[in-house]
């Protein structure tokens, strides 16, 4: 191809972002903190493929959901003709892996994963086409204490991240399938009585999934939704007991929550408990984590009945929130080694390795240049000091230490043989 368009610089796909080195430390800080908290509760890491057979998502997330109807990146495998999809979420893949490897055969399992998910949504702040989730699942647990455990775990994560004052908790129960069937009928009757004032989306959802009408963000629909029958009033005895149990555990943990009877979630596999942690600091995309119980999913994917619950948190939204609250996590080497001349270059190379052996972070200058330009790079890289090895130092087997952050601190000369001990002393 020789046309000009084919030679112009290529850009990332719309809605799919690069995470550059200046932004990455906050991501790593968040992921490390989350991992630590998840491990505290006994959750173990697993990783699944990013591509799965399309029917996995259709059968789990549900045909009448926005995700399956219009947001999936689906393509045909060129050789086999099989329909494949870039995962829009992680739960379906985890349950597929659990069934395939008989993960819960001997005992229930607490697992977590993180990574990219793909949804063809309209990109805006906090909403992307490739986004990243922290995903936590408890597989094979029936009681409400596990639902509560995951909510409390998130509260601990917010505290560890300094975000506890920016987020609030909403919970609801959407009952068991029979309760929901009755509720569906009640909703269908109610919304049919007001068919003329339904918007187009809601008219469509009335026959496919009337529960999703409750999720509508259209302001014109809100008064009608306000007065719709409430799921909580239709719960069967078992779902009611489960919800009371969840509330009891949350109360005993001293956690504040709002019961939001309109919280239905956008994926079809849920039953009983659903919850979301929301913030008002990010505009329209304010849900930072959401999840719930999905006791029927194993069976609908061909597995044995296995009660389970889980949640996912959006990493981009949490990073935005961390930034919003003024947090940063910049990383920089302790020392930047500058050098001049062949003998000094060879010595500097060895010295950098020796210092790294001793556990220090050292950036070694590469690419030549004057002392002045090397010092500029040392400063821009954020190091605490420069270690200078020019011809004199190489001859005397010393380095000159020049402080880059502590103004007023005199430069000093340190013998190379004593440098590890000196660095260890100043690094604390
Ligand atoms: P979800 O509510 O679809 O649930 O997504 C969970 C979180 O992922 C959202 O609260 C949000 O923070 C983030 N998120 C979703 N879509 C986007 C997007 N386009 N851009 C940026 N962030 C986004 C699930 O995915 C379920 N699998 C959660 C779960 C796990 N339920 C049980 N286990």
Q: Is residue 92 part of a domain?
A: yes
Q: Looking at the structure, do residues 146 and 262 belong to the same domain, yes or no? A: yes
Q: Are 141 and 108 in contact (CB under 8 A)?
A: yes
**pLDDT on residue 214:** 87
Which of ligand 1's atoms lies nearest the C-alpha of 310? 33
In the reported structure, the alpha carbon of residue 285 is separated from the centroid of ligand 1 by a whole-number distance in angstroms of 11
91 CA closest ligand 1 atom index? 27
Say if residue 31 is in the same domain as residue 103: yes
CA 390 / ligand 1 centre spacing (Å): 55
Q: How far is the CA of 313 from the centre of ligand 1 (A)?
A: 6
| Ligand 1 pocket residue status of 60, Cβ below 6 Å | no
Let me know whether 350 and 290 are in one domain.
Answer: no
pLDDT score recorded for residue 159: 97
pLDDT at 6: 64
Q: In what order do the strands lie in the sheet with 335-339?
A: 362-364, 335-339, 385-389, 398-403, 412-415
What confidence tens digit (pLDDT) does each residue in 155-203 have? Answer: 999 999 999 999 999 999 999 999 988 998 999 999 999 999 999 999 9
CA distance 211 to 262: 9
**CA-CA distance, 154 to 41, in Å (whole number)?**
11
At 5 the pLDDT is 56
Find the helix packing angle between 200-208 and 177-193, rounded to 10°. Answer: 140
Q: Tell me: do 382 and 293 sit in the same domain.
A: no
* Domain edge (last residue) among 298, 324, 350: 324
Q: Are 135 and 154 members of one domain?
A: yes
Which of 155, 163, 149, 162 shows the shortest CA–CA distance to 257?
155
Ligand 1 centre from 288 Cα, in Å?
8
30 and 167 share one domain? yes
Is position 230 within any domain?
A: no
Do 111 and 165 fall into the same domain? yes
Residue 223 domain-assigned (yes or no): no
Candidates 102, 51, 97, 114; CA nearest to 77 is 51
Question: Of all atoms in ligand 1, which is nearest to the CA of residue 88?
Answer: 25
For ligand 1, is residue 127 a contact (CB within 6 Å)?
yes
Whether residue 73 lies inside any domain: the answer is: yes
Residue 239 in contact with residue 173, Cβ under 8 Å? Answer: yes
Q: Which of 87, 312, 313, 320 to mutate to test the pocket of ligand 1 (most atoms within 8 A of CB)?
A: 312
Give the full edge-to-edge strand order of the sheet including 83-86: 51-53, 83-86, 74-76
Q: Does a structural domain hold residue 219?
A: no
Tell me if 384 sits within 8 A of 331, measured CB to CB.
no
Question: What is the pLDDT at residue 319?
Answer: 97
Closest CA to 284 of 67, 395, 125: 125
Q: What's residue 2's pLDDT?
A: 47
Give pLDDT, residue 1: 46
Which residue lies with its CA nearest to atom 15 of ligand 1? 314
Q: Which of 92, 133, 134, 285 to mutate to test the pocket of ligand 1 (most atoms within 8 A of CB)?
A: 133
How many structural domains comprise the chain?
Answer: 2
> Do residue 153 and residue 51 come from a single domain?
yes
Choosing from 278, 305, 324, the residue where a domain stops is: 324
Note whether 165 and 266 are same-domain residues.
yes
CATH of the domain at 267: 3.30.930.10
89 in contact with ligand 1, CB cutoff 6 A: yes
Among 267, 294, 324, the domain-final residue is: 324
**Residue for token digits 């055969």?**
105
Atom nearest to 265 CA in ligand 1: 2
Structure tokens at 284: 């329209």
CA of 290 relative to ligand 1 center, distance in Å: 6
* Residue 200: predicted pLDDT: 93
149 lines ligand 1 (CB under 6 A): no
What does each of the 428 residues of the chain score in pLDDT, given as a tens digit? Answer: 445 556 789 999 999 999 999 999 999 999 999 999 999 999 999 999 999 999 999 999 999 889 999 999 999 999 999 999 999 999 999 999 999 999 999 999 999 999 999 999 999 999 999 999 999 999 999 999 999 999 999 999 999 999 999 999 999 999 999 998 899 899 999 999 999 999 999 999 898 888 889 888 899 999 999 999 998 998 999 999 999 999 999 999 999 999 998 898 889 999 999 999 999 999 989 999 999 999 999 999 999 999 999 999 999 999 999 999 998 888 889 999 999 999 999 999 999 999 999 999 999 999 999 999 999 999 999 999 999 999 999 999 999 999 999 989 999 999 999 999 999 898 87
Q: Ligand 1 within 6 A of 289 CB? A: yes
Same domain assignment for residues 419 and 288: no
* Residue 225 within a domain: no
Ligand 1 within 6 A of CB of 31: no
Tell me, yes or no, whether 41 and 113 share the same domain: yes
Query: Do 253 and 296 fall into the same domain?
Result: yes
- The per-residue pLDDT of the chain, averaged, comes to 94
- Parent domain of 100: 24-176+236-324
Question: Whose alpha carbon is nearest atom 29 of ligand 1?
Answer: 311
Residue 41 belongs to a domain:
yes
């Amino acid at each position: 191809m020789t046309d000009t368009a084919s030679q112009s610089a290529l850009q990332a796909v719309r809605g799919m972002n690069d995470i550059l080195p200046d932004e990455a430390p906050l991501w790593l800080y968040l992921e490390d903190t989350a991992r630590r908290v998840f491990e505290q509760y006994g959750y173990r890491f697993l990783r699944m493929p990013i591509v799965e057979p399309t029917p996995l998502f259709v059968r789990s997330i549900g045909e009448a959901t926005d995700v399956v109807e219009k947001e999936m990146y689906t393509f045909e495998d060129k050789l086999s003709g099989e329909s494949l999809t870039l995962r829009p979420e992680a739960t379906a893949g985890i349950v597929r892996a659990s069934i395939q490897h008989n993960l819960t055969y001997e005992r229930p399992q607490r697992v977590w994963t993180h990574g990219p998910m793909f949804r063809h949504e309209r990109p805006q702040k906090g909403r992307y086409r490739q986004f990243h989730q922290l995903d936590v699942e408890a597989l094979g647990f029936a009681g409400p204490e596990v639902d509560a455990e995951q909510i409390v775990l998130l509260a601990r994560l917010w505290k560890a991240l300094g975000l506890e004052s920016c987020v609030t908790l909403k919970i609801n129960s959407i009952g068991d399938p029979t309760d929901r069937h009755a509720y569906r009928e009640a909703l269908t009757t109610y919304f049919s009585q007001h068919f003329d004032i339904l918007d187009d989306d809601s008219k469509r959802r009335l026959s496919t999934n009337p529960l999703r009408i409750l999720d509508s963000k259209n302001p014109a629909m809100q008064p009608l939704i306000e007065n719709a029958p409430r799921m909580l009033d239709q719960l069967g005895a078992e779902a009611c007991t489960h919800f009371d149990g969840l509330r009891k555990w949350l109360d005993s943990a001293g956690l504040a929550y709002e019961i939001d009877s309109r919280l239905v979630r956008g994926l079809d596999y849920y039953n009983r408990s659903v919850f979301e942690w929301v913030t008002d600091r990010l505009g329209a995309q304010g849900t930072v984590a959401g999840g719930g119980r999905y006791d029927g999913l194993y069976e609908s994917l061909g597995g044995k009945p296995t009660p389970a619950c889980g949640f996912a948190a959006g990493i981009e939204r949490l990073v935005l929130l961390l930034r919003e609250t003024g947090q940063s996590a910049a990383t920089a080497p302790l020392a930047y080694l500058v050098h001049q001349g062949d003998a000094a270059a060879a010595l500097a190379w060895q010295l950098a390795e020796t210092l790294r052996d001793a556990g220090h972070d050292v950036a070694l200058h590469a690419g030549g240049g004057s002392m002045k330009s090397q010092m500029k790079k040392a400063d821009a890289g954020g190091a605490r000091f420069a270690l200078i090895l020019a011809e004199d130092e190489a001859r005397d087997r010393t380095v000159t230490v020049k402080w880059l952050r502590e103004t007023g601190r005199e430069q000093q000369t340190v013998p190379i043989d004593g440098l590890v001990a000196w660095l260890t002393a100043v690094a604390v």
